[in-house]
């Protein structure tokens, strides 16, 4: 069994913000989500593998509170968990799949690592670019993409959806080889 976690914040005020790209990717999956505790959950079979898709309602920085109980209940090991989240260290147009590692300042990823007791889960990092000034980071991630960015953002979200499906079917390494070098800024 697998678990795909889309990171984001609940509510219409956050729906189109950079911080919600994880939710946006899961929204493109065409799944029927239902409310279960502090999350929206969907169950699906992809490539003969049964699994769960999760949109935590705990707010971004507390994502671990929704992820860990679910992973424990369904006995899903960290290497079968994929967290889809925004990444300021990558420009808009780039994706990066990786296993484990530092949260690099991402409080949602840190929350999951703390709640699971390990950072060994997999991550799909979606580039959103850097804010104009470092001190504007929180404001930047909670702002929507600019109108001129949306065509590229839509291509990125479509590619991220394909990366999630690839990860479920084939695992991390083949998908990292396919998607980590992709630069959607080039058309």
* Encoded tokens for 152: 């590229």
Claim: this prediction has a pTM higher than 0.85: yes
Residue 172: pLDDT band with limits 50, 70, 90? very high
* Total residue count of the chain as it appears in this document: 187
pLDDT score recorded for residue 11: 94
Question: φ and ψ at 176, to 5 degrees?
Answer: -60, -40
Instruction: Give me the mean pLDDT over the 84-113 stretch.
Output: 95
* Encoded tokens for 109: 């990823």
28-38 residue pLDDT tens: 999 999 999 88
pLDDT score recorded for residue 187: 62
Question: φ and ψ at 24, to 5 degrees?
Answer: -60, -40
Question: In terms of C-beta density within 10 A (0-12 exposed, 13-18 middle, 19 or more buried), how is residue 93 classed?
Answer: buried
CA distances from 96 to 23, 29, 52, 127 (A): 17, 19, 21, 8
Please compute, for residue 100, the number of CA atoms within 13 A of its CA located in the half-sphere on the CB side. 7
Catalytic residues: 19
* Encoded tokens for 123: 């991550």
Confidence check: pLDDT of 134 > 80: no
User: Residue 24 in 3-state DSSP?
Assistant: helix
Confidence check: pLDDT of 149 > 90: yes
Residue 132: pLDDT band with limits 50, 70, 90? confident
């Amino acid at each position: 069994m697998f678990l795909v976690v889309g990171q984001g914040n609940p509510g219409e005020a956050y729906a189109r913000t950079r911080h919600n790209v994880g939710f946006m990717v899961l929204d493109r999956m065409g799944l029927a989500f239902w409310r279960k505790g502090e999350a929206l959950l969907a169950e699906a079979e992809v490539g003969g593998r049964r699994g769960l898709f999760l949109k935590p309602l705990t707010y971004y920085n507390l994502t671990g509170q929704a992820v860990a109980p679910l992973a424990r209940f369904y006995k899903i090991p960290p290497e079968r968990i994929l967290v889809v989240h925004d990444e300021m260290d990558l420009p808009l147009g780039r994706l990066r799949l990786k296993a484990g590692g530092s949260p690099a300042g991402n409080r949602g990823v840190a929350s999951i690592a703390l709640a699971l007791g390990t950072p060994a889960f997999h991550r799909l990092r979606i580039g959103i670019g850097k804010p104009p000034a470092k001190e504007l980071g929180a404001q930047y991630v909670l702002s929507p993409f600019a109108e001129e960015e949306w065509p590229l953002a839509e291509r990125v979200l479509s590619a991220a959806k394909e990366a999630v499906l690839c990860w479920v079917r084939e695992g991390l390494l083949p998908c990292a080889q396919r998607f980590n070098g992709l630069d959607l800024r080039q058309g």
